[in-house]
Structure 1
C-alpha cells in the first residue's frame, strides 16, 4: 500500500467569483482575487492510499463515506491519472503499479463544512495536491483543481492569488497565479466571525446558475466593474495600502450580495447578525475617520474581517461588547492569541447599539498562509494499515 497525507488551505475572495460561462469546465464569467488563510487555523487534511487489495475507489468525508462517483471528483481523479500515465510513457518515475490500483481517500476539515467558509476550495485543492503526490505528477495543478471547485484553484497557492478567467474555450488559460507570497504583508490579520455553522440553504453551484440566468447586475459587474477592480486590488496589495484594500474588499462583498438579491428568486446569504456586523464595522471606521477594519462575506452569513495586527485586540473587544459570548464553556476566541484591550468612552458611544448575545458563536483569528503541503508526520495519516479510516476520523 502506498499512502500520502497532505493539507491545504481555505482562501477568501476579496474580488468575488460568482457565475460560470461553462458549467462542465467551471470557467468563470470574471476573474477573481483571494487571500489564502493560514493552515495553523483552517485547513483540510486528506490521506490517499493505493493498494492492489482495494476492490473499488472509495472516499470518506468528515468521518462518513461519500459518493465517489460525483462528476467533479471523478474529473479530478481521471485527469491526474491521465497525467500520471503520460508521465510514465515519457520515461519519468515509474508508477505503473499503483496506476492499476484503486484508491481510498479520507478527508477532514477542522472548520464548519458548507457554511460559506470555502470548504470545497480547501477540499478539492487538497484532493488534487494529494493525488499528484501519490502519482508523482508535477507542474500546473490549478486547472485540475478548478474542475473540482472553481475557487479551489486559488487554494493551490499561498498568500494573495488571482484566478484569471481566461479566454480559451478549453479552459487551458483559466488558471490561478500568485500575486504576492504570504510573507508580503506580515501585519495583515483575518478574523472569521462565525455567525452560523449550519449548511447554507442555497448551494453556491445552484445559486450561481440562477444568478447567471436572471441577474442583469451580474453581467454588468463581470464586464464593467471587475476588470478595473482587479487592477486596483492588485495595486493596493503590492503597496500594502490597507485603506484602499479595505474599501475595495467591502464594496466587492456588497456588490456580490446585491447580485444575489438581483437574482430571481432572490438569494439571501446574509442574516441579521451579518447585517449587524456590517453596521458595526462602518461605525468603528467612522469613529476613527479611516478604514481600520473591512468585512467580506462569501455565500454564507459568516463575516471575514480584514485588519492590521495593531487593531486586532481592540476590535475583538468591540465584537465581544456587541455580541456577548454565550457562556457554554467553549472558547470564544480561537487561533492566534488576542490580549484584552480597554475601550475608550468615545469609542463605546460610537459603536453603541442593541447587543446581540450569542449572535457570533466564536471568532477565529488567523493571517495569510502558504499553499498545500505534504505531511511527513505519520501520526497525521487518516488511513490505517487496513486501508480504512482510522477510528478517530
Structure 2
C-alpha cells in the first residue's frame, strides 16, 4: 500500500421502500431476523433517497460518520456489524491515477469516513434507516471491491435495519424470513423490476415529520412479547398473503393488490394496539385519509387507490394510474389544503408535474377546488389547513446506483471531511 496521503471515495444513491405486506417482529434481535416474510415497493430515488459518500485514507485516525451534516457515533452494534461484515469481504483495489493500491488485508486497519444525507424526514415513519443502511452497505461494497450479489449484500444491510435489505433492489421486493439460526437465508429477492407495473403512481401525505414517540425497534420488541395477534398473524395470516401478493404483482391485479395492502396495513396497526402498552402510530389525520380512500373505492365499485401506513402517521397512497392520481391529489388538496402563505411547489414535491395536470399550478387554484364527485359523502370540513406538512408524488423506482459525478459527493476529495 502506498504511503502517500491520498483519499479514495465512492458516492452512491439508494432508494427507500414501503412495505405492502409488513415486517413487524423479530425472532432474533441481534441478527435482525423477522417472524414473517414481507413484500415492498421501492420508491423512485429521484424523489426519496439516501446519498452516501464513503472514503478511505491512511490519514484518517478513526472511523467517523456524519448524518445530515451532524457527526454521529458509530459505536452501536448495528453499524459495527455492517462495517465488520463488509471489511471481511473487501478485495484488492487499485487506482493508478490517484496512486492508490489497497490489498485485501489492509481493510481491517484502514479507517473510513462516511457522510450520509436523506432527502426526506429521518425517523418519521418513511423508512429512512432502510435507505440509510442499504446505502451504507452498497457504497462500502463498491469502495472495497466486494464481489457479492445484491441478495448477499442484503443479508449484511439487514443487520443494520431489517427493511434495509429490501432497498438493495428496485421495483417489487420480497424479504424471505429464512429458517437458519445464523440468518444466512434471510435475504431479499426481486419479484419484478420497476418497469413491470409502471402505471402506478404513489402519493405520500407527510402528516408529521417529527420523530415518533415509540421507535420501531422497541415497538416490535413489545409486540413480540405481549401481542397474541402478532403470533397469529405471523403463523396463519401472512404466509397466505405473501403468496396472494406475489400473484397480484405478477398479474398487475390492482383490485387484489389494494385489498391485500389495505388489510395488511390495518392488521399491522391492530397488532400495535394489541401490544401492551398499546402503540399509536396513526393519528386523526391518518384515519381521515383512510376514510376518504375507503369511501372513494366503494363509490367506484372497483379499487382506485391502495393505502398503507408504516410505523408513523404518514399515508402512502398508491393510485392505479396517472388519471386516478390526479383525482386523488385534487381530493387530498381539497380536504387538506396548505396554509395560506404556502408555495404549492413546496407543498407538493417529488414529481410535481402532476400539479399541472390537476390544474393546480396557478395561484388561488386550491381555493377553487370543488369536493371530489367520486367521494359521495364529505369526510369533514375543508378547514384542515396544516394537518398535512406536504405531499410527495413518486412511483416505483430503481435500486441503488453509484454516482460518478464528484460534485455530488458529500465529502471533500482532498481532506475526506464533509463539504
Shift in Å at residue 359 of structure 1?
Answer: 1.1
* Cα distance in structure 2, aligned partners of 1:351 and 1:160: 34
Shift in Å at residue 112 of structure 1?
Answer: 0.3
Q: Secondary structure at the match of 2:377?
A: helix
Aligned pair partner of 1:328 in 305, 325, 341: 341
Asked if structure 2 preserves the Cα contact closer than 8 Å seen for 1:314 and 1:343, the reply is no
Pairwise CA RMSD of aligned residues? 1.6
Aligned pair partner of 1:131 in 135, 140, 155: 140
User: Which consecutive segments of 4 or more residues in structure 1 shift more than 4 A?
Assistant: 95-99, 341-345
Aligned pair partner of 2:23 in 17, 21, 36: 17
Which structure 1 residue ranges, 5 or more long, are not aligned? none
Aligned pair partner of 1:299 in 311, 325, 333: 311
Asked if structure 1 preserves the Cα contact closer than 8 Å seen for 2:172 and 2:193, the reply is yes
Mean CA deviation greater in 330-339 or 233-242: 330-339
Partner of 1:119: 128
Asked if structure 1 preserves the Cα contact closer than 8 Å seen for 2:331 and 2:372, the reply is no
Aligned pair partner of 2:117 in 90, 102, 108: 108
Asked if structure 2 preserves the Cα contact closer than 8 Å seen for 1:106 and 1:382, the reply is yes
Asked if structure 2 preserves the Cα contact closer than 8 Å seen for 1:18 and 1:29, the reply is yes
Shift in Å at residue 180 of structure 1?
Answer: 0.3
Asked if structure 2 preserves the Cα contact closer than 8 Å seen for 1:163 and 1:176, the reply is yes
Shift in Å at residue 347 of structure 1?
Answer: 3.1
Partner of 1:310: 323
1:87-102 superposed matches below 5 A: 94-97=103-106, 99-102=108-111
* Cα distance in structure 2, aligned partners of 1:358 and 1:23: 38
Shift in Å at residue 23 of structure 1?
Answer: 0.4
Asked if structure 2 preserves the Cα contact closer than 8 Å seen for 1:11 and 1:118, the reply is yes
Partner of 1:188: 200
* Cα distance in structure 2, aligned partners of 1:121 and 1:328: 34
Partner of 2:365: none
Q: Secondary structure at the match of 2:307?
A: strand
Q: In the TM superposition, what whole-angstrom CA distance separates every residue of 1:233-257 from its partner, at most 9, and x where no partner exists?
A: 0100000011110110000000000
Shift in Å at residue 271 of structure 1?
Answer: 0.6
* Cα distance in structure 2, aligned partners of 1:73 and 1:352: 45
TM-score calculated relative to the size of structure 2: 0.89
Aligned pair partner of 1:361 in 389, 407, 415: 389
Aligned pair partner of 2:209 in 197, 201, 206: 197
Asked if structure 1 preserves the Cα contact closer than 8 Å seen for 2:299 and 2:376, the reply is no
Shift in Å at residue 290 of structure 1?
Answer: 1.5
Q: Secondary structure at the match of 1:350?
A: coil
Asked if structure 1 preserves the Cα contact closer than 8 Å seen for 2:90 and 2:107, the reply is no
Asked if structure 2 preserves the Cα contact closer than 8 Å seen for 1:20 and 1:27, the reply is yes
Aligned pair partner of 2:416 in 377, 383, 387: 387
Aligned pair partner of 2:243 in 231, 248, 256: 231
> Would you say how many aligned residue pairs link Structure 1 and Structure 2?
385
Q: Secondary structure at the match of 1:147?
A: coil
* Cα distance in structure 2, aligned partners of 1:346 and 1:38: 30
Matched, 1:162 2:171: no
Shift in Å at residue 14 of structure 1?
Answer: 0.2
Q: Secondary structure at the match of 2:167?
A: helix
Matched, 1:267 2:271: no
* Cα distance in structure 1, aligned partners of 2:187 and 2:107: 28
Aligned pair partner of 1:218 in 208, 230, 238: 230
